């Protein structure tokens, strides 16, 4: 049996993060949630996820800044990050912050899963 890849969902909207957690769990991933930058950093350190889905607008934080901080640390520099936003014009700023990819809300489940699979396949 192949090892389940771990994905950390960082979104302060409980409904969205739970829907993503269920979707990813049903797709064969081990999915966990964090609601803010502090919880995100703690769970990354403790659980060592294989990929982070990071909302660009978190209460009290900017997902782009969280992404930049992760890129500055040697332990998380290579951690794959997909930034998610309801603002489609955030694609370039998300990539400039160091994200591997970007997806705008609303998104298709298939598109999200393809992006995740592509990034995780590259990381092997």
What is the per-residue pLDDT across 33-42, written as a single tens digit (0 to 9) for each?
999 999 999 9
**Proportion of the chain above pLDDT 70, given as a percent:** 97
CATH assignment of the domain containing 114? 3.40.50.2300
pLDDT value at 76 more than 80: yes
Q: What angle do CA 107, 112, 116 make, to 5 degrees?
A: 160
1 located within any domain: no
- What is the rounded CA–CA span in Å between residue 52 and residue 32? 10
Give the residue from 50, 75, 51, 81 showing the smallest Cα distance to 63.
81
Question: Domain count of the chain?
Answer: 1
What global pTM score does this model have? 0.94
The parent domain of residue 14 ranges over 6-123
Give the residue from 66, 13, 71, 14 showing the smallest Cα distance to 40.
66
Residue 3: per-residue pLDDT: 79
pLDDT in tens, 53-70: 999 998 888 999 999 999
14 located within any domain: yes
């Amino acid at each position: 049996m192949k090892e389940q890849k771990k994905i950390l969902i960082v979104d302060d909207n409980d409904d969205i993060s739970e829907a993503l957690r269920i979707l990813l769990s049903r797709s064969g991933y081990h999915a966990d949630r964090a609601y803010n930058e502090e919880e995100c950093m703690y769970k990354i350190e403790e659980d060592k996820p294989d990929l982070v889905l990071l909302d660009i607008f978190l209460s009290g934080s900017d997902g782009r800044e969280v992404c930049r901080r992760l890129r500055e640390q040697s332990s998380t520099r290579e951690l794959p990050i997909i930034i998610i936003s309801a603002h489609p014009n955030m694609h370039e700023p998300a990539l400039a912050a160091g994200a591997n990819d970007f997806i705008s809300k609303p998104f298709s489940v298939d598109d999200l899963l393809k992006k995740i699979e592509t990034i995780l396949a590259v990381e092997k």
